[in-house]
Amino acid sequence: MAEVTYLEALRDGLAEEMARDERVFILGEDVGAYGGAFKVTEGFQKRFGEERVIDTPISEVAIVGAAAGAAHMGLRPVCEMQFIDFLSCAYSILTNYVATARYRAGLKTPMVIRGPSGGYVRGGPFHSQNPEAAYLHTPGLKMVAPATARDAKGLIKAAIRDEDPVLYFEHKYLYRRIKEDLPDGEEILTPIGQAKVVREGKDLSIITWSAMLWKSLEAAEQLEKTDGLSVEVVDLRTLLPLDDAAIVATVKKTNRVLIAHEDTRTGGVAGEITARINELCFEWLDAPVKRVCAHDVPLPYAPTLEDFVLPQTDDLVRAARWVAAY
Amino acid sequence: MTSTLEPGTPALHAGLSQAQLHELYYFMRLTRSIEEKLVNLYRQTKVIGGLFRSLGQEADAVGSAYALDKGDILSPLIRNLGSMLVKGATPVEVLRQYMAKAESPTRGRELNIHFNDLERGFLGQISHLGDMVAVMAGVTLSFRMRREARVGLVYVGDGAMSTGAFHEGINFAAVQRLPLVIVAENNGYAYSTPMHKQTAVAELVEKAAGYGVRGAQADGNDVLAVYEVTKEAVERARAGGGVTLIELMTYRRKGHAEHDNQSYVTKEELEAWAAKDPLDRYARHLTEGGRATAAELAAIDARVTAEIDTAVALCENEPLPEPATALDGVLAEPPKAELEWYRRLDG
Ligand SMILES: Cc1ncc(C[n+]2csc(CCOP(=O)(O)OP(=O)(O)O)c2C)c(N)n1
Ligand SMILES: [Mg+2]
C-alpha cells in the first residue's frame, strides 16, 4: 500500500497505460520537460521520450484535431488542456469533428482530453470552469469526473482504453488535498458509466460528482449528527453516459433527492438528471428534486464572491433539510 | 532592427522633450516598483491569486504605449502593466485588483490587470489568448466607420500567436486595412515553451508577410527604439496605411508567474539578459547623454516609492466585496430571480 494524492494517482494511471501500450502518447502545452502546469506529467518526457510526450504550440484546435487524426490511425492520444477552460477554444472541432466521427463516417477516435477544472481556488472566471454541461448535449462523447484518488487512476486508465473519445475532468482543488492508500501492483480500472454509492442512507439521497462529493459527505455527517437524518451519497463518476440504474436505485431507496453540482444552475447537468428521474421513477418521489449548484454568473475572483457563488456545505445542509421535511 | 542604446550609436531622443524622456523613465520605474511591492504582498498572502511579472520587459510596454495619443485604445496582456500605467491606470487600482478589494475596478470579479477603461484607453484582456486581436479589430473598425482619426494597439505573445484567434483577428484587420498596430512581444518563452517549439519561423516578424501587413522589429529593451518603431506604425495607421506587426525582442526574466522557478532556463541566459536590463540601460543613456542627472533620476525613484506607499496605505486594509454583490450585472436587467432562488433553499 502506498498513500497517494489524487494528482499522483492520475499520474500513475497515465504512466501505467503508457508503459503498457506503446500507442499511448501525450500532447499539450508545457507537458514535456516542464511536466505540465500542475506537474501531472512530471518526469514523463525523460521516461517515455520526446516523441510520446509532445510540447505543442498554444493551439487547442491543433491539439484536439491532431489527436483525432492520430486516433483514426490507431494511436491512443491523451490531450492535456493546461486549464479545462481552454477546451472551449477547440469546441468546434471537438463537437463537430471528433464527436460525430464514428456515427457519420465509421471512424474510430479513441482519444482522451483531460485537464484541471473547477473552482474554490481563487482562479477567477477563466481558470475555474466546470464545462460538463457544454458537452453533455453532444452525442458521441463520453465524460468522466473523478472525485477520489482511486477513481482518478481508475478512470484515466479506463478512458485511455476506451474505444471512443472521453473527456476527463480532474478537479484542481482535489489535486493535492485528497490522499488515499492504493495497493501497489493491483490494476485499478473504474468502469466508465458506473456510479458508486459512497455512503449508504435511507432518508434522502445526494447525487453528485467531483469536488462536490466531499462537501456532500460533510453535509451528510452533519445532518446525521444534528438532525438524525440518514443521507445516502451517490458519486456519479461518469456524466456521459449517465448511470440511470444507479440514479433510479437511490431514488427508490430514499424517495428524496438532492442533486449537487459546482457548475452553474441553468442548463446544468442536474436538470438532465431531474428529467430522467421524472421519466423513470417519478412515482417513487416523496418530495420535489432539489438542486444545489452555483449561481448563474461567471465565477468571480474575490474569495467573498467566489464562496458566495459556489455551493458550500451549508447550502447542502439547508437544502437537504428542506427536502427531508417536505 | 532599431536600437538606440548600444555603445557607439549616437544618442537618439526620438523627438521627445526632456520632460517626456523623464516620464518614460518614471513609467518604467513605476511598473517595476509596483511589481516589487506586489511580490511583498504576495509573500504576505495578501495577493489573492497568481502574480505575473514583467521584469525586463518594462521598456516594451511603456515605450509602445507612449507612442499612442489620447483617444487611442490599447489592449494589454499580462506583462503590460506599464502600458496601462501610461494610459492612466493608477497604482491603487492595480493593487486593489490583485488583492480583490471591493473598491477594485472590477469589484473583485476579475484578477490582476484584467480591467478596462475605454475613456482612458485600455481594454482589458481575458485569459483566452489571441481573442483580443479579433476584438481590437472591431474597436478599430468602429474608429473607421465613424471617421475618427484614432488608432488601436494590441499586444500578443510569441505563444499567443499560435492561436486560431490571433490568425483570424489579424487577417480580418489586414483585409480591412484597419488602423491597428499589433505588438508581438518576443520574450523567448511561452510559459516553459521556447519559441522554436511554438513556431517554425526564426523571427515573429516574418509572419507579417503571410498576412500582407507591414512588419517591423525593434530592440524591446530599448525604450526609445520601442517608442520610435511604434510611433511610426501608429502614425501610418492613423493616416490609413493599415496594420503593422511589430516584433519587440525582449526576454521574460521571471517565471511565467511567481510560482514558476524557471527550471527550464540557464543561469547564463538569465545573466545575459539581466545585463541588458531596460531600466539600467535607459538610466545610463539619460545620464551619459546629459539628458538627466543621477539626482533627477533618484528624485523620480523617490516619487515612485512615495506614490506606491500611499497607494498601499490607502487600500491594504480595505474590505473584500460583499458576497451578494456577486449577483448583479450579468445582464442589463438585474437578474432578481437569482437571489430568490438562493433564498428558496431555506424553504
Ligand atoms: C487559449 C489559451 N491556451 C492556454 C492558455 C494558458 N496560458 C496562459 S499564458 C500562456 C503562455 C503565454 O505565452 P506568451 O503568449 O508568449 O506570453 P508571455 O507569457 O510570454 O508574455 C499559456 C499557455 C491561455 N491563457 N489561453
Ligand atoms: Mg512569450
Q: Is the CB of A63 under 6 A from ligand 1?
A: no
Q: pLDDT value at position A2?
A: 87
Mean pLDDT by 10 residues, chain A (326 residues): 94 98 98 97 98 98 98 98 98 98 98 98 96 97 98 98 98 97 92 98 98 98 98 98 98 98 96 98 98 95 97 97 96
Scan for cell 463537430, then name that residue: A96
Residues in chain A within 8 Å Cβ distance of B265 = none
- ipTM of the shown complex: 0.95
Q: Mean pLDDT throughout B74-98?
A: 98
For residue B276, the enclosing domain spans 18-327
Peptide bond connecting A146 to the previous residue in cis, omega within 30 degrees of 0: no
* pLDDT one-digit tens code per residue, B124-145: 999 999 999 999 999 999 999 9
Q: pLDDT value at position B341?
A: 60
Q: Is the CB of B252 under 6 A from ligand 1?
A: yes
Subunit contact B330:A297, Cβ cutoff 8 A: yes
* pLDDT one-digit tens code per residue, A28-76: 999 999 999 999 999 999 999 999 999 999 999 999 999 999 999 999 9
Of B77, B260, B128, nearest in space to A38 by CA? B260
For residue A91 the three cell numbers come to: 469546441
Q: How far is the CA of B332 from the centre of ligand 2 (A)?
A: 37
The segment(s) of chain A belonging to CATH 3.40.50.920 are 196-325
Chain B residue at shortest CA distance from A125 = B110
The answer to whether residue B162 sits within a structural domain is yes
Distance from CA of A1 to the nearest CA of B (A): 32
Q: pLDDT value at position A44?
A: 98
Rounded distance, CA A135 to CA A142, Å?
9
The answer to whether residue B337 sits within a structural domain is no
Instruction: Give the CATH number for residue B183.
Output: 3.40.50.970
A143 versus B9: the higher-pLDDT residue is A143
Judge: domain A196-325, CATH 3.40.47.10: no
The answer to whether the predicted template modeling score (pTM) of the entire model surpasses 0.90 is yes
Q: pLDDT value at position B8?
A: 47
Scan for cell 502574480, then name that residue: B51
Residue B346, pLDDT > 60, answer no
CB distance A284 to A255 below 8 Å: yes
The answer to whether residue B23 sits within a structural domain is yes
Q: Is the CB of A245 under 6 A from ligand 1?
A: no
Rounded distance, CA A10 to CA A39, Å?
11
Angstrom CA distances, B335 to A260, A262, A269, A293, B343, stand at: 22, 20, 21, 16, 14
Q: Which residue numbers of A are catalytic?
A: 127
CATH homologous superfamily of A2-182 equals Thiamin diphosphate (ThDP)-binding fold, Pyr/PP domains (3.40.50.970)
How far is the first Cα of chain A from the last one, in angstroms, to the nearest whole number? 45
Share of chain B above pLDDT 90, in %: 88
Rounded distance, CA A22 to CA A2, Å?
26
A123 touches chain B (CB under 8 A): yes
Share of chain B above pLDDT 70, in %: 93
Q: How far is the CA of A315 from the centre of ligand 2 (A)?
A: 43
Q: Is the CB of A86 under 6 A from ligand 1?
A: yes
Residues in chain B within 8 Å Cβ distance of A265 = 341
Mean pLDDT of chain B: 94
What is the domain count for chain B? 1
